[in-house]
Amino acid sequence: MSDDEEHYNPQSHKKLLQAISSRGNVQHIQRSTRDERQPVQDEFQLVKSSNASSSANVDEPRAVGLNDLVQILRTSSKHLDTGKKLKNVQSTKKVLQKPLEKPAADRIKRTIGYEGVSKKLGRWDAVVSKQRSAETQIFPIPSETIYVNTSAHAKPLKTSIKSDLAKELEESNQRLRELRKKQIGDMTDDKLLAQQERALLEKKLTRDELFARRKELAYLKMRESQKSAKARMQKKIKSKKYHKLQKRQKMLEQIKEFELLQKTNPEAALEKLEALEKSRVKERASLRHKNTGTWAKNLQVRAKYDREVRKDLAEQLAVSRQLTQKQHDSESEEDQESNTLKLDEQDKLLDNDPFNPWTKVKSKGKTNTNEEETDDPNWRKYWTERNETNKLLAQHREDIQELKETKKETKTAKTTPKAKKSSLKIKKAKVTVQNGWKVEKLSKDATLEEIFEQHGDILKEKVGKKLEKLRKQADKLKETPAKGKQLKKKKDALKNLKDLTFKNTKQRIEIDEPLNSEDIETKTGEINPKSNVSEEAEIVEKSSAVIESIDPTKVTTLNWTQASRGRLNDALGDGELEADFDEEDYTNADRQLTLTEAFEDDDIIADFNKDKEKDSELKNTELQLAMPGWGSWAGAGISAEVMERRNKRLLLKLAVPEKRRDENKDNLYINETSSKDTRSHLVSSVPFPFRSLADYEASIRAPIGRNFVPETAFRMLTRPAVITRKGQVIEPMDESELIKPDRRLRHIVDRRIKHLPKHKPLPPKAKIA
């Protein structure tokens, strides 16, 4: 063959032609191959499916539908039924609901996720609150795991892990197995068995886990779908009329049910009635049947001209009147009864609790008797008291019984009811009233009709009571519907954390103020004595302003705090009143009480002013320093003139008092004798975490230095709040903290602190003489 001779290959030619013809609709972008997992498909990587392009010339392969399957199944009689079933399934199957719109669905997902996370974060509440209240925190948080540096104590490697005993056991086992093999022909391989067992166990475990996981997922899914369904439902129905009709229908149904129940099961009927009543109350609370709605207002406009409209309005009002009317009626009926009952209950309350001091105070008769018998020793007093209360109780019980009896006698006597629940009632009667038996005996000769009637009466009574209760509740609801809603809204997410926090045993002062960066001059100006005094003065003024309007007890307490502040000052500098302290300490406990008693009918203001005058008295006087006979050595007969001159010379005239700072302020007393130098060092108000002056004083008064307390106490008192170690990384809180038991304390001081009695803080001074 020569080179230019054309070698015709029909196949390749055909290929060529095809290639040329399909050149127009070839796709240059290749379908992307995914080598990494990708949650999002890039739109640029979407390629037209290959058969879509090629289907133009070839017969298009249709997707297989359900009908095709059914057709095929029909061909054989064996599968005819299955075909039908398939068809049925298709026709009866509900179409899935359209999913919620994306924003709404996302919102639901977000809320669910957030709930989950906040719940998970809530686990830390206890740990965090404990950490916050801890007296000393040590970082890094000591973990229970012990790390042993094995390389340091490396021993020659033991070749076998098994102990001697284990080896022996194994040997004996082996022997046993061999014996078995010989005797019984036991061919099981132990190793294989063990392996299988392990595999099984593992499999089981994973399966359980899987189940748990699936359950959890299903639960989440369910929550989501529930929420979405709810949202959908709420959205869907708009018609007011529909709701109205539905409600009415429900009411009717309920009434029917109620009637039926009344005949068969009266107790259930009672409950039903309650529910009905509740719904009625709700409707009433909604004020729908007044003439205040927009509908009614529109009608009012037209009512002038349209008779029909007037009629409608009247109907509406009538409904509302009816709703209210019914209530009044039933109320008036039961008011009297309830009143008497209430009184009884009150009596009972008063007498029932003989050991309650509050009720004791009210019942004066008893207290009198107690006072009479104060001579008795304690135990006797107790018994006499108890006997008496018992007597009173018994008497009261009798009274109550009598009352009940009379009530029952007014109605027809009670008989043995035959229903099941009636037996229950008899039991009750046994417990409460013994006379219940009597009534039964009487009722034996009553007719059946009477029995039923009476039973009905009892039921009615009960219903009445319930209704009253409901009414009260409804009233309450009406009063505070808005409040209830608010409360629900303000569900505190941090409640758990707040509940878990406990009071710090050792309070530290927290100063949360901006740093003073201003020039010192201005700053010192602020704390100079003048301003300080004015501050104090303000406090006093405030307290005294209250005097006129409020009872003296309050004033005395204020006075007391003032006095104790004086003591606080002493703790710092001038120890002049040191001796007085202890006495005051002893009397502190009952001081408040005695003061209030003492001031019951005193004129405090006058006393106060007297004090003030007394302070300035000294300055206003003239002191005669001359003593009788002094200077007149020569005896009598010195001229009066000379004497007078001498007396004048020796007369010490005290300076005219300076104007008091509190001169014209009636209710103000400024102590001017206190040292002015110390004033700038004194605290003017109780610092933050402390609630009372006493607490703060206690914290200040106890010394902590080595010179004043023993060494161990010193170490305990000066233990820092946070201890960190140099060169150690502090890891964040670990999950193991959640389940960790109380740490074994290594440090001796920590252990001592832990063993201290919890209820009282450290003794102010350990007395070691």
Partner 1 sequence: MKVKMLSRNPDNYVRETKLQQHKVPRNYDPELHPLEGAREYVRALNATKLDRVFAKPFVCNLSGHRDGVSCFGKHPKMLSTLATGAYDGEVRIWDLANRCSSRNFVAHDGFVRGIAYARNGERFLTVGDDKTIKVWKSESPEVGEDEEPVNTILSRYILHGIAHNRKDNHFATCGEVCAIWDEKHNDPLKTLKWGVDTLHTISYNPVETNVLACCASDRSIILYDQREAQPLRKVVLTMKSNKLAWNPMEAFNFTVANEDCNLYTFDTRKLHTPLKVHFDHVSAVTDVDYSPTGKEFVTASYDKTIRIYQAHQSHSRDIYHTKRMQHVVCVSWSLDNRYIFSGSDEMNVRMWKANASEKLGVIRPRERANFNYQEALKAKYAAHPQIKRIARHRQVPRHVLNAQRKMRVVKEKDQIKEANVRKHSKKGTVPHVSEKKKHIIKEEV
515 touches 700 (CB < 8 A): no
Q: State how far the Cα of 752 lies from the Cα of 701, in Å rounded to an integer.
A: 22
Q: Least distance in Å: CB of 32 to partner 1?
A: 13
Name which of 263 and 491 has its Cβ closer to partner 1: 491
Name which of 515 and 656 has its Cβ closer to partner 1: 515
Residue 726 sits in the site that holds partner 1 (CB under 8 A) = yes
Q: Least distance in Å: CB of 766 to partner 1?
A: 7
Q: Least distance in Å: CB of 494 to partner 1?
A: 6
Instruction: Please return the burial class of 479, using the count of CB atoms within 10 Å of its CB with bins 0-12, 13-18 and 19+.
Output: exposed
Q: Least distance in Å: CB of 706 to partner 1?
A: 7
Q: Least distance in Å: CB of 72 to partner 1?
A: 41
Print the binding letters for residues 622-661 with partner 1: x by CB under 8 A, - otherwise.
----------------------------------------
Please, which of residues 26-45 interact with partner 1 by CB under 8 A?
36-40
Which range in 81-89, 104-112, 237-245, 323-331 contacts partner 1 by CB under 8 A? 104-112
Which range in 22-30, 67-75, 594-602, 677-685 contacts partner 1 by CB under 8 A? 677-685
- Residues 6 or more apart whose Cβ sits within 8 Å of residue 481: 285
Residue 566 sits in the site that holds partner 1 (CB under 8 A) = no
Name which of 307 and 490 has its Cβ closer to partner 1: 490
Residue 293 sits in the site that holds partner 1 (CB under 8 A) = no
Identify which of 469, 231, 233, 458 has the alpha carbon closest to the alpha carbon of residue 330. 469
Print the binding letters for residues 266-285 with partner 1: x by CB under 8 A, - otherwise.
--------------------
Phi-psi sector, 122: left (phi>0), alpha (psi -120 to 50), beta = alpha
Name which of 248 and 725 has its Cβ closer to partner 1: 725
Please, which of residues 132-161 interact with partner 1 by CB under 8 A?
137, 139
Which range in 48-56, 603-611, 635-643, 731-739 contacts partner 1 by CB under 8 A? 731-739
Q: Least distance in Å: CB of 31 to partner 1?
A: 18
Cα 711 → chain centroid: 43
Residue 680 sits in the site that holds partner 1 (CB under 8 A) = yes
Q: Which residue has the tokens 């008769």?
A: 365
Residue 107 sits in the site that holds partner 1 (CB under 8 A) = yes
Print the binding letters for residues 489-528 with partner 1: x by CB under 8 A, - otherwise.
---xxx-------------xxxxxxxxxxx-x--x---x-
Which range in 103-111, 158-166, 290-298, 458-466 contacts partner 1 by CB under 8 A? 103-111
Print the binding letters for residues 572-611 with partner 1: x by CB under 8 A, - otherwise.
xx-x--x---------------------------------
Whole-angstrom Cα Rg for the chain: 48
Contact residue for partner 1 among 521, 729, 744, 757 (CB under 8 A): 729
Q: In angstroms, how far is the first alpha carbon of the chain from the final one? A: 133
Residue 466 sits in the site that holds partner 1 (CB under 8 A) = no
- Residue 137: C-alpha distances to residues 122, 123, 230, 719, 760 (Å): 22, 20, 49, 10, 21
- Residue 523: C-alpha distances to residues 518, 531, 690, 747 (Å): 7, 12, 26, 44
Name which of 634 and 722 has its Cβ closer to partner 1: 722
The H-or-E segment that residue 263 falls in is helix 240-264
Please, which of residues 108-127 interact with partner 1 by CB under 8 A?
109-111, 113-114, 116-118, 120-122, 124
Please, which of residues 686-705 interact with partner 1 by CB under 8 A?
687, 699-701, 703-705
Q: State how far the Cα of 457 lies from the Cα of 412, in Å rounded to an integer.
A: 9
Give residue 724's identity as a one-letter amino acid code: T
- Residue 195: C-alpha distances to residues 180, 190, 199, 200, 561 (Å): 21, 9, 6, 9, 81
Q: State how far the Cα of 41 lies from the Cα of 386, in Å rounded to an integer.
A: 87
Q: How many residues bind partner 1 (CB under 8 A)?
A: 88
Residue 65 sits in the site that holds partner 1 (CB under 8 A) = no
Q: Which residue has the tokens 């307490």?
A: 557
Contact residue for partner 1 among 33, 239, 410, 707 (CB under 8 A): 707
Phi-psi sector, 131: left (phi>0), alpha (psi -120 to 50), beta = alpha
Phi-psi sector, 158: left (phi>0), alpha (psi -120 to 50), beta = beta
Contact residue for partner 1 among 69, 126, 128, 231 (CB under 8 A): 128
Give residue 442's identity as a one-letter amino acid code: L
Name which of 399 and 510 has its Cβ closer to partner 1: 510
The string of DSSP codes covering 658-674 is: PPPTTTT-TT-----SS
- Residues 6 or more apart whose Cβ sits within 8 Å of residue 469: none
- Residues 6 or more apart whose Cβ sits within 8 Å of residue 280: 323
Q: Least distance in Å: CB of 694 to partner 1?
A: 15
Give residue 471's identity as a one-letter amino acid code: R
Residues composing the chain = 769
Name which of 139 and 383 has its Cβ closer to partner 1: 139
- Residues 6 or more apart whose Cβ sits within 8 Å of residue 652: 622, 623, 624, 625
Residue 131 sits in the site that holds partner 1 (CB under 8 A) = yes
Name which of 180 and 765 has its Cβ closer to partner 1: 765
Residue 318 sits in the site that holds partner 1 (CB under 8 A) = no
- Residue 651: C-alpha distances to residues 157, 641, 654, 656, 751 (Å): 109, 15, 9, 15, 72
Residue 223 sits in the site that holds partner 1 (CB under 8 A) = no
